[in-house]
Chains A and B, each alone.
Chain A
Amino acid sequence: MNTQELIATHGPREAMDYDVVVVGAGPAGLATAIRLKQIAPDASVVVLEKGSEPGAHILSGAVMDPRAMDELFPDWQKLGAPLGQAVTGDDVLFLSETGSTRTPDWLVPRNLHNHGCYVVSLSNVVKWMAQQAEGLGVEIFPGFAAAEVLYEGQGRVVGVATGNMGLTKEGAPGDNFQLGMELRGKYTVFAEGARGHLGRQLLAKYKLTEGRDTQTFAIGIKELWEVPADKAQPGRVVHTAGWPMSGDTFGGGFLYHLADHQVTLGFVIGLDYRNPYLSPFEELQRWKTHPAIRAHIEGGKRIGYGARAINNGTPQALPKTVFPGGALVGCDAGYLNAARIKGSHAAIKSGMLCAEALAPALAAGRAHDELVAYPEAFGRSWLHDELQQTRNFKLWFKKGKAIGQLMAGVEQWLLPRVGVMTPPWTLHNHRADHEGLEPASGFEPIAYPKPDGRLSFDRLSSVFVSNTNHEEHQPAHLTLKDAAVPVQINLARFAGPESRYCPAGVYEFVKGEDGADRLQINAQNCVHCKTCDIKDPTQNIVWVTPEGGGGPNYAGM
């Protein structure tokens, strides 16, 4: 049964009215809510979060630039924000298969300087932000997914509806069925993160990407380790380029030492990769076995795992961020600074800018119109300047690693030394990531080493430590537009890339009893990274929200 039929038989849906409805309790959504309550204490603000609690679906490197946090909470240190570990040293390494070369500090381009930043668990930061928000009177409802945008009249957004709960696998109401409910707002702010499920629909409906570059993404896969005391170097930040990536694939590793003998590490690969045999998960696994990396974690224990698609962050690809009745903030728009490998400061800043436009609009009695003041304020902000300075970074690398390194050096090292902060030229991209995949016939399968169970692992034991679960009797939330495409196109032409790019083993090609291939979707394993929604070559996979509360339960990620 579809939602309209369910409303007809079980409805009407209950509705609650707010001044502002925020979708997603991440850094951008919470910053929006917090900033609004700081300047307009009487505004009613509700935040919906599909994770079981704030932070449950938050995964990031992360080295945080405190600039936006300083603006949001000038006294964050006194308030106990979990930004406890300052960066103490930067290593930029170029890896060969067995060796590594450290870039001398004076040669490291400015975008990779992390002095003054903090190594954090963004999941913990978000938990703390949620407490601050609740203290200011924001209502946060974790465990409730915004599943549908509510429109009215001439296509104005008037809120969202939460997902139905208790549907059977076939989509019929089960014993404990609960119809979703409507949260109506004068303005609705979408802060779902990269490739938001509702954000995508809004981009299309309001043609928000018209005249802009095509947004591209990367997949980041991360692990959290507890290491022996003699290996701990709190505050040390390591970034690597080179092995195991070949020349034409954009990717690199990160390894950060937190306090309490914890190390967070991971690998990021551009989703415009060509070779369908590439497996981002297995690239991370073998990267960890490199002598320069294993030296940090050997003898330790992996305690967390997760993955998330990330925007590639070029301001040329930023969509229009407002439409009647709503706005996009954070990575739902795509403010990440890929060159600095940082996005949380941008997410927080964008949420604040949006809130600073919301407050006067509400005070003037406005509703459901375009918050033009928000993109205008962004244009005047430091965030705009920061993103402009690195606007070509990822795009140079699309032209090959040698050109990428050279031009990143010119733009981020050379030009700033002669006082040119923003490069005088602009590159553009109009190709979506899924179009980059080439037929398997042009490549050899990659022979990845078998996991050893100590440094490297398989997918299932990895998903196990992400604490992921979904109520098993619900309809699959990874939907196919055409059920025949996976075997006829994905498997036949591209050797089934979804079985490799999915970091959680959701997609498996299996032989049926009749010997025919079929795609098995293990939706329960999904860590909500959205990679399939982005990379599926024919865009046949559509990620929709599962029942609220499902998905990973990241702790300290």
Chain B
Amino acid sequence: MKILVAVKRVVDYNVKVRVKADGTGVDTANVKMSMNPFDEIAVEEAVRLREKGAAGEVVAVSCGVTQCQETLRTAMAIGADRGILVETGEELQPLAVAKLLKALVEQEKPDLVILGKQAIDDDCNQTGQMLAALLGRPQGTFASKVEVEEGRVRVTREVDGGLETVSLATPAIVTTDLRLNEPRYVTLPNIMKAKKKPLVVVKPGELGVDVAPRLQTLSVREPSGRKAGIKVPDVASLVDKLKNEVKVI
């Protein structure tokens, strides 16, 4: 079985993002970038499946600027066998990424595609679902457990009421939730090995995909700051304020 894993380069989760002064987006100049944490979980899961003997090859894919190669090297340091970068300087929206991934799936013919459920920069939570729809293949989103069976994958999903288990015919699309696994620490020897693993760079045009944005961002603003609280002397004045000032009861 072959697994394709999609990884996105995002602003590191420790960085407090800041809106640019002109309101056109988030300032990413000199900011630390790293792999989307949900994608790290996806890579870890794919590598674990291979280590268990359930998968043969793990291919990591990223779409975006040249520096996404670093993200792919990290995926290969965790254990992916090779990497593919779809390189473009254009802004990539979920639909464009889904189309690029569809083209790669048609080339690579994996039995399983694992993606993070969402990226921590735009929080869209769309790419996996769009990819499944474009391919017309089954999807198991928000996975907290993935088991490979003969010709099928059994996915335990985190849903509002608890857990839901679905069995998908392969090829299938799985998106990862936080509790699926805890990614390993990459080690120095594995970072060295990752530098020597094959990494192919292709352009969207070569895949026949038009990545032009379909959505237009009008403006980006920071959430308004929280107003200072007040202390009330007793319950009666609290009720009074809630009723007459804030008007919530």
Binding site for B on A (CB under 8 A): 14, 16, 52-53, 55-56, 121, 123-124, 127, 141, 144, 162, 165-166, 175-176, 178, 181, 183, 226, 261, 303, 464-465, 467-469, 553, 555-556
Contacts and interface: CB of A to CB of B under 8 A. Distances in A.
B12 A52 contact: yes
B142 to A, nearest CB: 22
Given A468-B14, A469-B14, A53 B32 contact: yes
B131 to A, nearest CB: 29
B189 interface: yes
B30 A555 contact: yes
A359 B85 CA distance: 38
Q: For the complex, would chain B's binding face be called helix, strand, loop or mixed by DSSP majority? A: loop
A123 to B, nearest CB: 7
Contacts of B34: 52
B232 interface: no
B21 A261 contact: yes
Given A464-B16, A467-B16, A166 B32 contact: no
19 contacts: A14-B187, A16-B192, A53-B32, A55-B30, A56-B32, A123-B30, A141-B188, A166-B185, A175-B182, A176-B184, A178-B185, A181-B188, A181-B189, A183-B188, A226-B21, A464-B16, A467-B32, A553-B14, A556-B29
B188 A165 contact: no
A141 B185 contact: no
Nearest to B15: A467
Given A52-B32, A121-B30, A226-B21, A176 B15 contact: no
B187 A465 contact: no
B202 interface: no
A303 B187 CA distance: 33
B12 A144 contact: no
Interface string B24-45: 0000011110100000000000
Nearest to A164: B185
B105 interface: no
Nearest to A547: B185
A176 B182 contact: yes
Given A181-B187, A467-B15, A469-B14, 8 more contacts: A176-B184, A181-B188, A464-B16, A465-B16, A553-B14, A555-B15, A555-B29, A555-B31
A166 B189 CA distance: 17
B135 interface: no
Given A165-B185, A181-B189, A303 B30 contact: no
B34 to A, nearest CB: 8
A374 to B, nearest CB: 27
Contacts of B29: 555-556
B212 to A, nearest CB: 30
B82 to A, nearest CB: 21
A226 B21 CA distance: 9
B189 A303 contact: no
Which 10 residue pairs are nearest across A and B when measured between Cβ atoms? A165-B185, A469-B14, A178-B185, A555-B30, A556-B30, A467-B15, A553-B32, A555-B31, A467-B14, A553-B14
Contacts of A121: 30
B191 interface: yes
Contact of B188 (A162, A226, A555): A162
Nearest to B14: A469
Contact of A553 (B12, B182, B183, B184): B12
B203 interface: no
Contacts of B30: 55, 121, 123-124, 127, 555-556
A470 to B, nearest CB: 10
A119 to B, nearest CB: 15
A261 B27 CA distance: 14
Contacts of A166: 185
A166 B185 CA distance: 8
Interface in B149-195: 182-185, 187-189, 191-192
A176 B30 CA distance: 31
B7 to A, nearest CB: 17
